[in-house]
């Protein structure tokens, strides 16, 4: 398993701490140090069991966090079930038959409630679980800002309009991330999350059949399990080199024109991000450093604090 030295991990922690200071006191890694001191141990324990049982779960929880933060901020709204009076995000176009891991968040929440009743938000649990999913698969670890409150509503329409599509162009991705306060460098670093996980045939079919910026042998190989019509739910690894290892293999794939989805290969297609992709393809340290910084920024998008929002007792429904 690819690893980086202890000094590098120390740097990540220091960078995270400095970033927290710069952003102010609304969120803090020590937010629950007195009210729920066992929180991080509980999250880590449940995540360790879940990832050991199913390594893909690390990617699934990380994706849940992305999709939460990109729709009305990191408020746990992606976890809400639909009700007669609330049409939530789970069945939005980019989420339907795709998001998974809700039962893992439920298990963490149940254990946290048993230890610290009505204290920790589902939004914070999701942020911690995403971090642990990455580190359990060989990626970096970092300090997570805490103190988010849970949203009381969700919006399928907002999910449909705010989530990046697998067919997005580089300009479209840069624009969408920019609206969230994320730079093109953040975009390219966060896209490295595709070093783990799987994608459905329906999301990469266009790239392997119609695009020209793809290695022909790779396209032919992927077509074996993703026909031109049908079998939409067939899965393929986003990173064929090491699908359950969080490393820089994703970027090496892009340099070789072996990105799975159109939006992946857009990062290395003669555009503004080519040099950064090349850097990450040869430097795990640079990728990890920038990924940690970008996760910190993303985790602060549109957060609710204080009296704004609530602490849900059940992550699937408002109190």
Annotated binding site for Ca(2+): 68, 71, 73, 75, 77, 89, 195, 239, 247
Least Cα distance to 59 among 188, 242, 193 occurs for 193
List the beta bridge partners of residue 149: 304
| CA atoms 234, 170, 140, 33: torsion sign | negative
The tokens describing 206, both together, are 């266009």
Angle among Cα 309, 177, 122 to the nearest 5 degrees reads 25
3-state SS assignment for residue 78: helix
Strands 235-237 and 198-200: antiparallel
Q: How far apart are CA 168 and CA 96, in angstroms?
A: 18
Feature table: binding site: 68, 71, 73, 75, 77, 89, 164, 194-195, 239, 247
All residues at 6 or more sequence positions from 114 whose CB lies less than 8 Å from its CB, including other chains: none
207 is catalytic: no
Q: Give the CA count within 13 Å in the CB-facing half-sphere of 249.
A: 20
Number of H helices, E strands in the chain: 14, 2
Least Cα distance to 88 among 33, 154, 132 occurs for 154
Feature table: binding site for heme b: 194
Q: Give the CA count within 13 Å in the CB-facing half-sphere of 19.
A: 22
Catalytic residue, from 56, 63, 67, 222: name it: 67
Which residue do the tokens 């901020």 mark? 73
Least Cα distance to 189 among 19, 7, 24, 66 occurs for 66
Catalytic center residues: 67
């Amino acid at each position: 398993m690819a690893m980086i030295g202890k000094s590098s991990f120390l740097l990540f922690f220091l960078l995270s701490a400095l970033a927290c200071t710069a952003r102010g006191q609304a969120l803090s890694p020590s937010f629950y140090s007195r009210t729920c001191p066992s929180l991080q141990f509980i999250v880590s324990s449940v995540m360790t069991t879940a990832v050991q049982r199913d390594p893909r779960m690390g990617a699934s929880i990380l994706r849940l966090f992305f999709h939460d933060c990109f729709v009305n901020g990191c408020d746990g709204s992606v976890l809400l079930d639909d009700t007669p009076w609330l049409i939530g995000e789970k069945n939005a176009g980019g989420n339907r038959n795709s998001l998974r891991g809700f039962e893992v968040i439920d298990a963490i929440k149940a254990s946290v409630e048993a230890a610290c009743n009505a204290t920790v938000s589902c939004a914070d649990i999701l942020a911690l679980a995403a971090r642990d999913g990455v580190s359990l698969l060989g990626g970096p670890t970092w300090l997570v800002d805490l103190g988010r409150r849970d949203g009381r509503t969700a919006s399928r329409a907002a999910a449909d309009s705010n989530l990046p599509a697998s067919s997005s162009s580089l300009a479209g991705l840069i624009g969408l991330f920019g609206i969230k306060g994320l730079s093109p460098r953040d975009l390219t670093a966060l896209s490295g999350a595709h070093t783990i996980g799987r994608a459905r045939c329906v999301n990469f079919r266009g790239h392997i059949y119609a695009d020209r910026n793809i290695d022909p042998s790779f396209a032919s190989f992927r077509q074996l399990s993703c026909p031109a019509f049908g079998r939409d739910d067939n899965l393929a690894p986003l990173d064929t080199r090491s699908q359950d290892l969080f490393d820089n293999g994703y970027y090496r794939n892009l340099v070789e024109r072996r990105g799975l989805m159109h939006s992946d290969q857009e990062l290395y297609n003669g555009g503004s991000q080519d040099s950064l992709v090349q850097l990450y393809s040869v430097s795990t340290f640079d990728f990890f450093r920038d990924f940690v910084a970008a996760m910190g920024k993303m985790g602060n998008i549109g957060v609710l604090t204080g009296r704004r929002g609530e602490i849900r007792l059940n992550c699937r429904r408002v109190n």
